[in-house]
Amino acid sequence: MSNQQPAVTFEEIRALLRNLPGPDLDAGTAALQRERQLTKPAGALGRLEELAQWVATWQGQHPPDIRRPRVAVFAGNHGVAARGVSAYPAAVTAQMVANFQNGGAAVNQLCETADADLRVYELDLDNPTADFTQGPAMGEEECCRTMAYGMMAVEMGVQILALGEMGIGNSTSAAALCLALFGGEAADWTGRGTGVDDEGLARKVAAVEAGLAANPQAKEDPLEALRRLGGYELAAIAGAILAARVARVPVLLDGFACTAAAAVLFKADRRALDHCVVAHRSVEPGHGRLLEALGKEALLDLGMRLGEGSGAALAINIVKSAVACHAGMATFADAGVSNREG
């Protein structure tokens, strides 16, 4: 990550949140009207029909088009990882980034299958965030600069953006964020992540509790929660989601950590994630609880917990199928098929 990102403040981000573009109701209505004319019983394609309308509404065009999907994976390291909250050492973050770059990870295969452009963004891996059990993970300027960097992933021509992350320790960070944003107990939000044993899980729960104790301000403001308990990759994801909204790019969110980053924006404005669909439900126990808090239903539930944008990349083909049916199917009139009204 370059240190030359545009200067941004929390106040500017709050101003952006207050002025988010809304849905394009004309495009959404056009999609709904066409859906009613296609050669199938009403509602027969289930959620595929909703997805086609969602893409049209947030792209602001009809018919919708997602021939140029992008998968953006942000990678960052966490100071809290030194507390033994993961089954893997922090060095694995950089090693997995190299694996992404060499084409050897699951997300590479899924992107190839979906004909999606994969971009991997390293966020100062040699310098992790501070250990949030001792104080804020990031300063405000640091957090804002990272959000601005994430915004740069939304380039001209991207038609749908699938977001993911890589960062040893980030399920601990995600659990702490969710506890600050939605309350409850640390154990409610904390799972085994990379597969820690019972002692590791106890260390994670203790770290989440300590993080809230050291950063009580995190409960008062969602952006403060992000900078105090989040990580570089989570801040970048939040920035990318905001930029996608401004650019009218629909977003697919990956699993628990990615959705926790998005939840920061939801707590600032309940409409901030209307252009987002959660691609899959992670087996992390906190993810199901988080989806309920956000009022969202994941597209897929395949027992996945890999991260790295894998669930979001997988869902691209589902959305492509929805758009293909919407745009390519014949209408009753085109096909000379009688509908139930005729």
Is 309:72 a contact under the CB 8 Å cutoff?
Answer: yes
Catalytic residue among 112, 185, 308, 341: 308
Closest among 2, 28, 8, 43 to 238, alpha carbons compared: 8
Which structure tokens are listed for 4?
Answer: 């030359």
Q: Are 224 and 218 in contact (CB under 8 A)?
A: yes
Write the burial class of residue 19 (CB in 10 Å: 0-12 exposed, 13-18 middle, 19+ buried): exposed
Burial 75-107 (b: 16+ CB within 10 A, else e): bbbbbbbebebbebebebbbebbebbeeeebbb
In angstroms, the CA 24 to CA 61 distance is: 8
In this structure, are residues 313 and 164 in contact, taking their beta carbons and an 8 Å threshold?
Answer: yes
Query: Nearest CA to 5 among 105, 124, 151?
Result: 151
Residue-wise DSSP of 176-228:
HHHHHHH-S-HHHH---TTT--HHHHHHHHHHHHHHHHH-GGGGT-HHHHHHH
Residues in the chain: 342
Going edge to edge, which strands form the sheet with 251-253?
Answer: 117-122, 69-75, 160-166, 251-253, 276-278
Residue 192 carries which side chain, given as an amino acid letter? R
Catalytic residue at 308?
Answer: yes
Produce one character per residue of 170-206: b if its CB has 16 or more CB atoms within 10 Å, e if not: bbbbbbbbbbbbbeeebbbbbbbbbebeeebbebbbe
Active site residues: 308
